[in-house]
Each structure stands twice: as structure tokens, then as C-alpha cells.
Amino acid sequence: MRGSLSVAARILVVLALAVAALPALAATEDDYRALNRSIVAGHVLPRLAAFARATAALRGTADLACAARAPADVTALRQAFVLAMDAWEAIQHVRFGPVEFFSRRSRIFFWPDPRNSVGRQLGALLENGSPQAITEQSIARESVAVQGFPALERLLYDEGLAARLTARTAAGADTACAVVRAIAANLATMARDIDAAWSQGDDAYARYLDQAGPEHVRFHHHREVTLELFKSLHTAVEFVADHKLVRPLGASIQAARPRLAEAWRSGRSLANIRTNLAAAQALYVGTGGGASVSSFVREIAGERELDELLTRAFAQTLATVEGIPGSLGAGVASAASRRPLDKLLRETRALKALLAQRLAPVLGVPVGFNALDGD
């Protein structure tokens, strides 16, 4: 039953309650600053750079594919699309800073889309748009629903629309290709600008975060930056549990709605979830041996047992999703195939609770927030 916890999830909850609530060692501003620096340098900046590279490659491939109009080029374009979307899913959880500016996050990936805004707006653009007038600049002024990955996915994986990309004489073929190229270029520009805003120049956002203090415009303490990074960690798990799994699963087989899954047309729903959870694990354990949330919990706060619990919880949840065969859409359709998905849902919910109820107090950050407000 959906409402009952699996053995693994029950173990996580019991262990969480069993961990002694020892008073955390006093963390200094320097401790928080070192943690923030390490996460930004080892997690955020490399992933933003990877996203910029992947979307630049997508842009180039779109230009070539639309010039050649050959099936092999459309296949290459789909591969470039998948790589670029993977790069986005690996940094999607960092929802503050330059990605917020100019509505970039919604423009990059407008989802969930309960009103089918992508379908309606894209259909209108394909029907009424002129190939000569559709450019990167014009797309950037359109509805957010047609500017990013969901609209591009429809163009590449909807059979009727994808056929236009290989047939110059098909009705609307030139318009479809113009939209593909414009969206790819728009994504590449946004990714480049986000990457540059975080990492380049004296006013780089990474430097801005590092200057937290009483005179800072937004962050008066380094712990406030840590809160934003904690919210990124929490959001990575929360978005999987409360949107990417719940929406297609429904409350039962009869209520399942596989087409509410993220990226179902390209068959990337489960792959995206794997990428999200792997990113959350990486954010917690850290990279390159520098300060990490894990080392902060273990060494600064003195909560070794909690760190071990969270490390196991991340590993267990990721192992569960990696062991699920097939696609998410097919998996929601039968009792047998739903079991591992229900298990994953319970584990992600348990992990989300651990982060909010056990990790946040140890980090000294408030939990009275909802990072997904507005979605």
C-alpha cells in the first residue's frame, strides 16, 4: 500500500529518531564560509560550466541538422538534446542566483505544465510563425512555455513534428526547423549567461556570496548562504518525491497518469530522477576532499551518527532508482512494476524528512520555507 512504509524507509525513520540529539559544536562564520566556498567551487560552478558546454553543442548540432535535413542528423540532434537536458538536471536544484534572473529557470524548463501550455503555445507558433521571423531573439520574447527543453522535446520526439525536420517540402518544415534552432540558441545563451554571471568578473555571483557580512545587500551572515545551499539539497529530493514521482503514479493504477511524467516523450523520466538524486548525493558528500555538508555534520557539528545515517540514506535511495528497469511511464501501469516506484517514493519522502528534521537543525538553518513555492 502507498501509505505504508517499506522496511528500508522504516529503518531510516527509526534510525533518525534513535540518533541522539547531541548539542552541536559551535560553528563559526569561517566554518560556514569554508563550506559555502567548497560547495560553490566543487559542485555549482563545474555543473554550470558543463551545462553551458552541453547547450553550446546542442546549438551547433541544431544548426547542422536543420541544414542537412537527414534522419542521421536528427538522431544526432536528439543525442545532443539528451546530453544538454542531463546537464540541466544535474544543476536544476540550484534555484537561486542568476538562474532566477529574467525568469531563466522557467524559460529553460517549464514543468510541471498542468494546462498543456507548451502544446498550445508551440502549436500556435508553428501555425502562425514565419521561418524568417523566428530567431533566438524572437523566441526569447515568446511565452516561457516555448523557450526551453519541453518545447524542444516535442519537436524532436513527436512523430508528426519530427518528420518535418527531414522533409523540406512538408507543410511547416521550415518553420519547425527555425523553432528548433531558435530554442537551442536561446538555451545556449541562457546557460552561457548563467555560467558567466556565477564565475566571471569582479562582480561574479560566487564572489558576491563569499562577501557575506553585515554590510552585504542580501546575505548578512555566511550561514544565510548555507541556507540557500541547503535548500538546493532539499529541493533536489523534494522535487523528485512531490512532483516527478507523485504526478505520474497517482493514488492507484487506475489513477496513474504516465503522461504527467517529466520528459516522457523522450523516455528520460527515470534517467532525470537518477540524475537529480545523484546530484543531491554529490552535494551532500562533496567532491575533491574539501569541506562538505557531510564533513560539517561529522566534524564541525560532531554528529557522526547522523552523517552515517544520511550517507546510507542517499546511497540506498540512489541504489533503488538505479535498480528500476524500463521506463517510468510503463512502470506505473501494473502492480508489479509499481512496487519499486512506490518504494522509491517512500524512500525519497523519508530522505526529505531527514533533511528537514535532522540536518537543518544541525546546520543551524531554519526549515520554515518551501523552495518549490510557485511550481
Architecture of domain 44-205: Up-down Bundle (1.20)
pLDDT at 6: 53
pLDDT at 148 over 70: yes
Residue 315's φ and ψ, nearest 5 degrees, are: -65, -40
Percent share of the chain, pLDDT over 90:
86
pLDDT at 310 over 70: yes
How far is Cα 102 from Cα 90, in angstroms, rounded to an integer?
21
Cβ-contact 66, 75 below 8 angstroms? no
How far is Cα 24 from Cα 359, in angstroms, rounded to an integer?
11
- Could you tell me which of 172, 113, 165, 101 has the C-alpha nearest to residue 143? 113
Q: Packing angle between helix 149-157 and helix 71-89, nearest 10 degrees?
A: 150
pLDDT (tens digit per residue) in 71-97:
999 999 999 999 999 999 999 999 999
- Spatial CB neighbours of 24, under 8 Å, sequence gap ≥ 6: 300, 301, 302, 303, 361, 362, 364
Mean pLDDT of 327-354: 96
DSSP string, 336-370: HHHHHHHHHHHHHHHHHHHIIIIIHHHHT------
pTM (2 decimals)?
0.91
DSSP string, 314-330: HHHHHHHHHT--S-HHH
The continuous run of DSSP H or E covering 80 comes out as helix 71-89
How far is Cα 155 from Cα 164, in angstroms, rounded to an integer?
9
pLDDT (tens digit per residue) in 259-281:
999 999 999 999 999 999 999 99
